[in-house]
Amino acid sequence: MKPVVKRMAKALQGLTARHDLYRVFADSMEMMALAVANGCDRTQYDAREARYLVIAKDYSREELTQVSRLMALLTEAMTAEFADYLGELFMGLDLGSDARGQFFTPYDLCRLMARATIDDDQIQQALAARGYVTVHEPAVGAGGMVLAMEERMRALGHPGVMHVTCVDVDIKAVHMAYLQLSLAGIPAIVIHGNSLTLEAWSTWYTPVHIWQGWERKLSRQHQTMVPEEAVPAVEATTAAAGQLELFGVEP
């Protein structure tokens, strides 16, 4: 594991005196995802704040401090360099056996696939036609492939022009992907759903998707009108007291 991932693992393992490690991992991912989402998406705020408080009540203030440390480590790492830190953390903690054999593709392989997939000439044509490109990922996992594609786009000189719609049937993976894509500044819609049956149970909009008005950009491309009330508010939401406490801020 990378040094920062080892520190993340240590933060999680500090919660296992009273809790099972798999549950600690899942709860931490969900609490962090809820906190990020409620900082930007007013349309689902109340239900998500209620859910956050239900999870948080099972942890002491000291234990929530460890979750806060995990979030700080992830933010710092993602700011410095793109990688699938949460996928590596999941695999490094040997949690795959508790998740029915779930496996996250190593990030180096994701990078290789991104280089083989992205053709700069095609990207240039798409940008000339509409100013952005779209990516659809039917089984996003922790978001490693999307991160590698954005990294490749930036290396080619095209930052911030790739919009992603991604799906996963596992809610834990949805939380992981949402966190990493949000911290990477990628405009994305992350759907908890089934790509085969087309079922969808929840939708998560990254902060950049909301703040940069991607709902309107995409609707214009498809020549449809989106009612104003259907578009998530672009201004930041003030986090509720429970979430502020998680990140060590006085409400």
Per-residue pLDDT tens over the stretch 42-67: 999 999 999 999 999 999 999 999 99
- Domain extents in the chain: 3-103, 107-230
**pLDDT at position 119 over 80:** yes
At 222 the pLDDT is 58
What distance in Å separates the CA atoms of residue 172 and residue 23, rounded to the nearest whole number?
Answer: 10
Nearest to residue 183, comparing CAs of 143, 236, 134, 141? Answer: 143
Domain 107-230 adopts which CATH fold?
A: Rossmann fold (3.40.50)
153 or 227, which is more confident? 153
* Cβ neighbours of 123 (radius 10 Å): 18
Least confident range of 100-114, 120-134, 143-157: 100-114
- In the chain, what is the straight-line distance between the N-terminal and C-terminal CA atoms, in Å? 36
pLDDT at 71 over 70: yes
Residue range 2-16: mean pLDDT, rounded: 92
Per residue in 179-192, pLDDT (tens digit) is 999 999 999 999 99
**What does the mean pLDDT of the chain come to?**
87
Of the ranges 67-81, 118-132, 192-206, 213-227, which one carries the lowest mean pLDDT score? 213-227
Give the model's confidence band at 7: pLDDT under 50 very low, under 70 low, under 90 confident, else very high. Answer: very high
Mean pLDDT across the stretch 116-136?
92
Mean pLDDT of 27-48: 96
In this prediction, residue 16 carries a pLDDT of 86
Residue 213 has pLDDT above 70, yes or no: yes
User: In terms of DSSP bridges, do strands 188-194 and 199-205 run parallel, antiparallel, or are they unpaired?
Assistant: antiparallel
Counting residues of the chain whose pLDDT is more than 90, the rounded percentage is 74
The residue-averaged pLDDT of 138-148 equals 96
Given a cut of 90, whether residue 223 has pLDDT beyond it is no
Per-residue pLDDT, 99: 52
Lowest mean pLDDT among 61-70, 151-160, 230-239: 230-239
Instruction: Give percent of the chain with pLDDT exceeding 70.
Output: 86
Say if CB 168 and CB 174 are below 8 A apart: yes
Could you give the C-alpha distances from 15 to 28, 34, 52, 134, 174, in angstroms and in order?
10, 19, 17, 39, 22
User: Would the pLDDT of 239 be above 60?
Assistant: no
